[in-house]
Amino acid sequence: MQMHPNKDTQLCMSLSARPGNFGLRFHNHLYEQLGLNFYYKAFSSQDLPGAIGGIRALGIRGCGVSMPFKEAAIALVDELDDSVQAIDSLNTIVNTDGHLKAYNTDYIAIEQLLKKHAVPKESTFALRGSGGMAKAVASALRDGGYANGIIVARNATAGQALARNLGYEWQAQLAGLRPQMLINVTPIGMTGGPEADALAFDADVVEAADTVFDVVAIPAETPLILRGRAEGKRVITGLEVIAIQALEQFVLYTGVRPTPEQFEKAVAFARA
C-alpha cells in the first residue's frame, strides 16, 4: 500500500546527536506495508526541553531517543515504565493525548540477543562504557545471570556508579585482563565520530575472547566486529540491537506487531 500522508497522519520521530536512516526506513516501510497512517522522521536538536515540549504540543505519537539524551530526557516526561525505572535510562517516548510515557526497548533487545546467540552465562566479560545504553546492557547481563564482569570506563564517577549499582567491579582501563566476552557501548567505531576507525579493545584482547559484542550500529560492521569475525569469534552486532529495539518501539507506537517475515523484510529494506 502506498503512503498518502494527510491531516490525520500520526507522526513519529527519533532524536539523536547523529541521526541515521535506519529507523526512518524501518518504520516507514512497515507503515506502508501494513497500511498504517503514520510517518517517521529523524531529528537532531541542541534544545532537549524544547524538543520534548514539541512532542507534547504537536501531538507527535512516539519518539525514539538515542545518545546523548537517554538520561537527561527522564525529567521531561510524565511517567516511567518499569524498564526505565530499573536502569534510569530511556530510549522511547509514547505520547497519549499529551501524556508522555517513557520505555526502554534496548534492554529487551539485549536480553533476546544473549539468548539467541547462546552466550554462556559463566562467561567473564568486560563492558566498555558508562552511559544510558551501557546501563541497559549491563542490567540485561545482570538479570540474565552474567555475574563475572567488569565495567571499563574512563569516567570514574559514572563507571563506579554503574558498577556499584549492578554489583560489578569498575576499572578505568582493561589492563592485563582477557575476558571471554567483550562489549563495546561507546561511540568508538561509529561512522562520523572522532574514533571511527579505532578498535574498542586491543587486538590481542579480541584474539583471547570468545564473544565480541558491539552496540554501535552505524556501520553494521564496525572495526571491532570485523576483527571479531576475522578471528572466528561469536559476534553480536549493533544492527541486531537496533532492529529489535525498533520493532518493540513500532509495537508501542502503533499497537500492531508485524510478523517475523515482515520484520525481516523491514530490516533488509532499512539496510539497503
Beta strands in the chain (DSSP E): 10-15, 38-43, 62-65, 79-80, 92-96, 99-103, 125-128, 149-152, 169-171, 181-184, 211-214, 234-236
For residue 90, how many C-alpha atoms fall within 13 Å in the half-sphere facing its CB?
A: 27
The amino acid occupying position 179 is P
272 close to 27: Cβ distance less than 8 angstroms: no
CA angle 14, 240, 202 (to 5 degrees): 105
Is 70 considered catalytic here? yes
Pick the catalytic residue: 70, 121, 135, 233?
A: 70
| Residue 42, all three cell numbers | 529523524
C-alpha cell at 235: 559476534
Provide the Cα torsion 45, 25, 246, 165; round to 10°.
-40
Distance CA 211, CA 233 (A): 6
Cis peptide before 219 (omega within 30 of 0): yes
Letter string b/e over residues 165-186, b meaning 16 or more CB atoms within 10 A of that residue's CB: ebebebbeebeeeebbbbbbbb
Distance from C-alpha of 187 to C-alpha of 192, rounded to nearest angstrom = 10
Task: State how far Cα 101 lies from the chain centre.
Answer: 18
Provide the annotated active-site residues: 70
